[in-house]
Amino acid sequence: VFTAYSTLAILDNRKKPKEICELLANGLSLIEENSTWIIDYANKAYIINCFIILIKKYSEVKQLELACKYNESMISFSEKYYKYGLPTVLLSACILFSSINKFEKNYTLYQRLYTMFDELDPIQQYKVVKELLHFEYQKGNYSYVVELSLIHEELIAKSKDEHKQTVLDISGFGFLKNARKLNDMKSSWNFEDINNAYKLGCEWALRNNILMFPTICINYAYWLYQFDNQKNNAIK
């Protein structure tokens, strides 16, 4: 029955988007009702493909809540029956959430993907790091931006992403704002911690983003200049 529903939905070019949604939704509803069957069903990748087509069609007809619901159902299905393919499914789910402007749902998915880092290929790894840098910067978690930038420095440097400069700028401002944030923490203010944070940012910028170096360096100098015993170092 599932094959009949999905075949009619996918192969009949005369079907309108709403008809395709109805057929695929009916077919996929059989999964939870027949868990014994689905465990033995060999082509689970085909079911994932049906989910993806359904989500895209719901998006096409502007039923975004249903698109979101089935995206979450796709993840749940993979967690139960398609575990070895979960990283790929999560990456697909992120793309689909973005396509329906549910960007906030991607944060936890990229966090999960980061725990599966070794299962991803280099392009997927870069994608996960890139998106996490964006989310963590937006959330003000600058120390984690610094950590990610250092751990995955080589991965980012080797990427051929046409938007890599934006990623490098996020990292650069992460180093700068991390140092400023440490300076603003009056209760635990420590000269060496802040000094090392600025130095780390300068060293990173020299290696990876020379355009950011003057900005970080000047801010470092301004910070040093407020201390009488550091004025010479600030000028240097």
Residue 230 is predicted with a pLDDT of 72
pLDDT category at 236 given cuts 50, 70, 90 is: confident
What is the C-alpha separation between 77 and 151, in angstroms, rounded? 33
Q: What share of the chain is helix, strand, coil (3-state, %, to 5)?
A: 85, 0, 15
Q: Output the pLDDT for position 101.
A: 93
Closest C-alpha to 107, from 135, 70, 86: 135
- Check residues 8 and 234 and name the one with the higher pLDDT: 8
What pLDDT is stored for residue 126 in this prediction? 98
Positive or negative torsion for Cα 89, 91, 94, 99: negative
Contacts (Cβ under 8 Å, ≥6 apart) of 152: 125, 126, 129
Q: What is residue 187's predicted lDDT score, i.e. its pLDDT?
A: 63
pLDDT tens digits, one per residue of 145-198: 999 999 999 999 999 999 999 999 999 999 999 999 998 886 667 889 999 999
What is the C-alpha to C-alpha distance for residues 4 and 202, in angstroms, rounded to an integer? 62
Kindly report the pTM of this predicted structure.
0.90
Residue 15, helix vs strand vs coil: coil
Length of the chain measured in residues: 236
Residues 101-151: tens digit of each pLDDT = 999 999 999 999 999 999 999 999 999 999 999 999 999 999 999 999 999
The dihedral through the CA atoms of 223, 224, 226, 232 has a sign that is: negative
Supply the mean pLDDT for the chain.
93
pLDDT at 234 over 70: yes
CB atoms within 10 A of CB 25: 17
**What is the per-residue pLDDT for 98?**
96
pLDDT for 186 equals 66
218: Cβ contacts below 8 Å, ≥ 6 apart: none
Percent residues over pLDDT 70 in the chain: 99
Structure confidence at residue 188 (pLDDT): 64
Work out the average pLDDT over 62-88.
Answer: 95
Alpha helix (H) ranges present in the chain? Answer: 2-11, 17-33, 35-40, 44-60, 64-81, 86-99, 106-115, 122-138, 142-151, 153-158, 164-184, 191-208, 213-225, 231-235
Side-chain half-sphere of 230: how many Cα atoms within 13 Å? 12
Report the share of the chain in percent with pLDDT over 90: 78
